[in-house]
Amino acid sequence: MTTQSILDDFEHELERQRKSPITRRGYLADLRDYARWVRATYSEEFDPRDITADDVTTYASYLTTVRKAKPATANRKLAALSTFCRWAVQAKILRSDPTRGVQLKKQVKNAPKALSRSDLNRLVRKAKQSSNALHLAVILTLVNTGLRVGELIALDRSDVEINARSGQIVVRQGKGSKYREVPLNAEARGAIAAYLDVRPQPDRVTDRLFLGQRGEPLTSSGVWRMLDKYARQARLTEVSPHVLRHTFATLLLRESKVDLGTGADLLGHENVSTTMRYTRSTDADRRAAVEIYTDQ
């Protein structure tokens, strides 16, 4: 097997696992970065079958001491390499996982990645300009409910209740099989109602709420591709269902200032300590905090 054929097989495995296009590109970009380091360090071409534990340890040190990579960046690159190596062991390309035991770098825990209000508005604006009722309904549902992508695609038509002044979504199988009811605001209700007016006939017996053009139930990879399309149009680099969930939670707790118990209920968290992540400071918060001294 050639190096390229091994990498192609790895990419096919990521597709089989329904990893998003953004995730697949990220893994392969990080692997190419490792390959460049191998060529620069050993003056030989990268061969996945030659990866050793010493290589991984040296590469980890290089990332933080020479490249001056932030812990999050170094950890991401090491995680991509680890994912590849675990697959390579299963595929009989490597005898053992050379990344096992490599310590990730400690990092300051920020609030989870979320879109700013202006970035969110730009993304939604692009979806509205498309005039695609399904795409707009999916995006506005994610933005206004914080549903996980698995919860979204599992929704049945009967799980949605829309009235003139109120509405809700019933999540019957959330994380940990937890049941919850999530209210729908006017924006989400309007988008879902408009989609239902043009919803295609199912291609088989199914009550799934969100269907593709040919009547097949929407998949998680379909949602990822949808978001990738509008993210590119809005000139955004990091948009995923989970980023929209983080955005919903951040706006809920930091701008709307709801209490942690309500936030946990809406997000389907078993423990409010999970919800508290969204109250952590960001880099921007810390920069703004110290700027007060420059104005005096």
Task: Show which residues are catalytic.
Answer: 148, 175, 242, 245, 269, 278
Question: Which among 70, 75, 123 is positioned nearest to 243, based on CA atoms?
Answer: 123
Computed on alpha carbons and rounded to an integer, the radius of gyration of the chain in Å comes to: 22
Contact yes or no for 135/125 (Cβ under 8 A): no
Distance CA(157)–CA(172), nearest Å, equals 12
Phi, psi of 179 (to 5 degrees): -85, 140
Element (H, E) at 38: helix 21-42
174: left (phi over 0), alpha (psi -120 to 50) or beta: beta
Question: Which among 65, 64, 59 is positioned nearest to 81, based on CA atoms?
Answer: 59
